[in-house]
């Protein structure tokens, strides 16, 4: 394994989309093109499967130095209502674009810290969205929560609105690690919110753990996983820390590079955590995700309809995702669009009656083929090579690369199907990169992506 880590530990995308954001051709993108594609996608799929809605709530009271999300640090809670007003105005701009009421199949509140907002303000936001929509009978509603500021009132308010899944950011329970990443929270605070949620009736509770954090040890991983298991979450995300301070600026400069586990040792942290999770009846689902056999994520996985998009892995499949809020990304299946990251520009565009997207990508035929291939590899650990036109095999020397993966024991080919073996699952990003033709055609910028291992 050590030699494979050295060989394959290179910068690479996490493939929440294809093409990945750095290779979007925004010079060919316009707001009018996005509106046209979004409306077409909506008209084709809304009545059949509904749409997904992602709402970005970017505020946090303090900066976690491991975080790569788009956020604004403030303790001023008077920002809540003006931001909600903008979100509802943006939603109305999409409603004006569509000719029928949207059927919401999935809604997710991400951040930032969604529970920065008061329960009353979250209620106003969600009812403002729902009042002008139809809620699908199987709608999945989820939100991200910070254990330190999530109250029982938060949980009850969102439960009453239909939310049944929440994700708690745990990261690591070691006080030394918590101090350096500025995420000081006790096991008691996580346990309290988890128990409240179970008592209220939430059916899917997820804990997020990160490996590869500064000063992390095998003992701290073991302790964190054991404490997590004692609370019996339904899902667990076991993420690799993406150390990209050149992108995220001062936020990831709160420690020295040599304090961050690398290469073989970082892989040891992952392998120990994974071993403990599997021993405790969690099942590996896709990349970095584990669940119990009763959870809907596992049910989707075994039925081969697991989905992955800008909200991560989901058990709901929709072709249209509307992203609301600063920096949010929307998806109409054949196009992507991202909102402005500037609060002022976002606000100005909405107040001018414009959907606040400022960049995006229109997928061509090749993009759509590769999107399908990479989505299957990320969700099912397999794909059919017949999807890929033969001309690409010669242009990108795909056969030679596949043979190398086979020799390294990472994949096997059955007829025309590529199957990622157990030993290859840690290298799924590398395998996807084989088919990332945009990455291959452009000289990779070492500072665009985190390391794959």
Dist. CA 185–CA 147, nearest whole Å: 7
Tokens representing 175?
């006080």
Is 360 annotated for ligand binding?
A: no
Q: Is 96 annotated as a binding residue?
A: no
Question: Was 60 annotated as part of a binding site?
Answer: yes
The answer to whether 183 is a known ligand-binding residue is: yes
Question: What DSSP character marks residue 134?
Answer: E
How far, in Å, CA of 123 to CA of 106, rounded? 17
Is 124 known to sit in a ligand binding site? no
| Residue 107 annotated in ligand binding | no
Cα dihedral across residues 37, 38, 43, 48: positive or negative = positive
Contact by Cβ (8 Å): 98, 42: yes
The annotation status of 112 as a binding-site residue, yes or no, is yes
312 is in an annotated binding site: no
The token pair at 69 is: 């999300």
Other beta carbons within 10 Å of 443: 7
Q: Which residues contact 229 (CB under 8 A, 6 or more apart)?
A: 276, 277, 280
**Known binder of ligand: residue 83?**
no
Total Cβ atoms within 10 A of residue 342? 14
Q: Which two tokens stand for residue 268?
A: 């040891």
Give the residue carrying structure tokens 């084989």: 434
C-alpha 159/C-alpha 422 separation (Å) is 38
Measure the CA–CA gap between 283 and 241, rounded to whole angstroms. 21
Give the HSE-up count for residue 108: Cα atoms under 13 Å, Cβ half-sphere: 24
- Residue 54 marked as a ligand binder: yes
Backbone φ and ψ for 51, nearest 5 degrees, come out as -130, 165
> 412 near 406, Cβ under 8 Å?
yes
Please check if 242 is assigned to a binding site.
Answer: yes
Residue with tokens 């394959």: 8
On whether 337 is known to bind a ligand per the annotation, the reply is no
CB under 8 A, 24+ apart: contacts of 91-96: 91/128, 91/129, 91/132, 91/322, 91/324, 92/132, 93/350, 93/353, 93/354, 93/355, 94/38, 94/322, 94/355, 95/132
308 is in an annotated binding site: no
Distance of alpha carbon 63 from alpha carbon 65, whole angstroms: 6
Tokens of 380: 């099912």
Q: Residues annotated in the binding site for S-adenosyl-L-methionine, as ranges?
A: 54, 66-68, 111-113, 144, 171, 183, 208, 242, 329
Q: Residues annotated in the binding site, as ranges?
A: 54, 60, 64, 66-68, 111-113, 144, 171, 183, 208, 242, 329
Q: Residues annotated in the binding site for [4Fe-4S] cluster, as ranges?
A: 60, 64, 67
């Amino acid at each position: 394994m050590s030699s494979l880590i050295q060989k394959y530990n290179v910068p690479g995308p996490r493939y929440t989309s294809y093409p990945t954001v750095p290779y979007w051709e925004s010079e060919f993108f316009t707001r009018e093109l996005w509106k046209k594609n979004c409306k077409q996608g909506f008209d084709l799929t809304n009545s059949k499967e509904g749409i997904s809605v992602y709402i970005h709530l970017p505020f946090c009271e303090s900066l976690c130095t491991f975080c790569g999300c788009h956020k604004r640090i403030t303790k001023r809670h008077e920002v809540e209502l003006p931001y909600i007003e903008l979100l509802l105005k943006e939603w109305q701009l999409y409603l004006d674009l569509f000719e029928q009421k949207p059927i919401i199949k999935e809604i997710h509140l991400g951040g930032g810290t969604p529970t920065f907002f008061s329960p009353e303000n979250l209620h106003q936001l969600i009812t403002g969205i729902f009042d002008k929509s139809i809620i699908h009978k199987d709608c999945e509603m989820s939100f991200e929560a910070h254990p330190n500021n999530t109250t029982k009132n938060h949980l009850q308010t969102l439960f009453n609105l239909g939310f049944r899944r929440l994700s708690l950011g745990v990261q690591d329970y070691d006080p030394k690690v918590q101090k350096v990443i500025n995420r000081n929270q006790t096991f008691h605070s996580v346990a309290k919110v988890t128990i409240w949620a179970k008592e209220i009736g939430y059916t899917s509770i997820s804990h997020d753990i990160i490996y590869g954090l500064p000063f992390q040890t095998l003992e701290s991983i073991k302790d964190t996983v054991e404490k997590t298991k004692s609370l019996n979450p339904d899902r667990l995300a076991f993420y690799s820390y993406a150390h990209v301070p050149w992108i995220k600026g001062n936020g990831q400069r709160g420690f020295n590079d040599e304090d961050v586990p690398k290469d073989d040792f970082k892989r040891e942290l992952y392998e120990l955590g994974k071993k403990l999770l599997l021993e405790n009846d969690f099942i590996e689902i896709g990349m970095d995700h584990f669940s119990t056999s009763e959870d809907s994520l596992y049910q989707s996985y075994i039925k081969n309809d697991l989905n992955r998009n800008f909200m991560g892995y989901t058990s709901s499949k929709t072709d249209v995702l509307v992203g609301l809020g600063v920096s949010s990304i929307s998806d109409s299946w054949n196009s992507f669009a991202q909102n402005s990251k500037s609060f002022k520009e976002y606000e100005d565009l909405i107040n001018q009656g414009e959907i606040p997207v400022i960049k995006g990508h229109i997928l061509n035929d090749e993009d759509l083929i590769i999107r399908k291939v990479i989505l299957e590899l990320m969700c099912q650990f397999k794909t059919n090579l017949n999807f890929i036109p033969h001309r690409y095999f010669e242009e990108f020397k795909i056969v030679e690369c596949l043979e190398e993966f086979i020799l390294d024991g990472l994949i096997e080919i059955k007829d025309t199907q590529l199957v990622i073996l157990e030993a290859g699952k840690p290298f799924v990003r590398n395998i996807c990169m084989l088919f990332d033709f945009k990455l291959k055609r452009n000289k990779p910028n070492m500072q665009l992506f985190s390391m794959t291992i």
